[in-house]
Amino acid sequence: MANSGFQLLGYFLALGGWIGIISTTVLPQWKQSSYAGDAIIMAVGLYEGLWMSCAFQSTGQVQCKIFDSLLSLDIHIQTCRALMVISVLMGFIGIIVSVVGMKCTKVGDNNPSTKNKIAVAGGGLFLLAGVCTLVSVSWYATQVSYHFFDPNTPANARYEFGSALFVGWAAACLTMLGGSFLCCSCIDDERRGQQYYRQSQPSTAREAELLSETSFPD
């Protein structure tokens, strides 16, 4: 029962992280215009994500433009796009697989060992989804930092970290933590089963010896 609750905790943590991954993927605030140093404070805030760039005016109006060409984008944006899409897909598959493998579901109750392996596979998918998200967000943040501190970058063209990056880091941590809980709970079950089997072997051997002695006395 305790392991079942541990699995549920891991599942809901991973599910929340997966929702955060989706939010990170679609949000345009991966980087935002900087007003540090000698930058001129403008009435328009510029934001840029993986799919579009947006301009937020002081009047509250928002204008967004989707990137027209995929091949004209920087290589790190294309790679981050691919990693985030892969993360979303792996997280979706992990949700389905984990539901099948968890103890609180009735699917595959007749084979607990296979059910545990399925749950571990679901946890592994969550771990991979979290790693892909972490790599994508961290790589994008590295590029933002590089251009910010590059002396050749004009002051008015510098960007800082957007809110989507922090959402992505949090989502990656939640997803990996939930996947780890799923994997650890099932591994503990396997170890306990093996330990119980080893402990039961000597008693079984003694019973066999006693039966042989009573059946064939000297």
**What structural domains and CATH numbers belong to the chain?**
2-200 (1.20.140.150)
Q: Indicate whether 9 pLDDT > 50.
A: yes
Q: Indicate whether 68 pLDDT > 50.
A: yes
For residue 208, the model assigns a pLDDT of 52
pTM, full prediction: 0.80
Which residues make Cβ contacts (< 8 Å) with residue 120, sequence separation at least 6? 101, 182, 183, 186, 187
216 or 22, greater pLDDT? 22
What are the helix and strand counts (H, E) for the chain?
4, 5
For residue 184, the model assigns a pLDDT of 86
Query: What whole-number distance in Å separates Cα of residue 132 and Cα of residue 84?
Result: 7
Q: Indicate whether 103 pLDDT > 90.
A: no
Q: Indicate whether 39 pLDDT > 80.
A: no
pLDDT digits (tens, 9 = 90+) for 171-200: 999 999 999 998 887 665 555 444 434 444
165 or 188, greater pLDDT? 165
- pLDDT band at 211, cuts 50/70/90? low
For residue 215, the model assigns a pLDDT of 52
Query: What whole-number distance in Å separates Cα of residue 213 and Cα of residue 84?
Result: 68
Mean of pLDDT values over 57-77: 84
Nearest to 28 by CA among 64, 81, 58, 72: 64
- pLDDT band at 130, cuts 50/70/90? very high
Q: Indicate whether 51 pLDDT > 90.
A: yes
Which residues make Cβ contacts (< 8 Å) with residue 201, sequence separation at least 6? none
Backbone angles phi, psi at 164, to 5 degrees: -65, -30
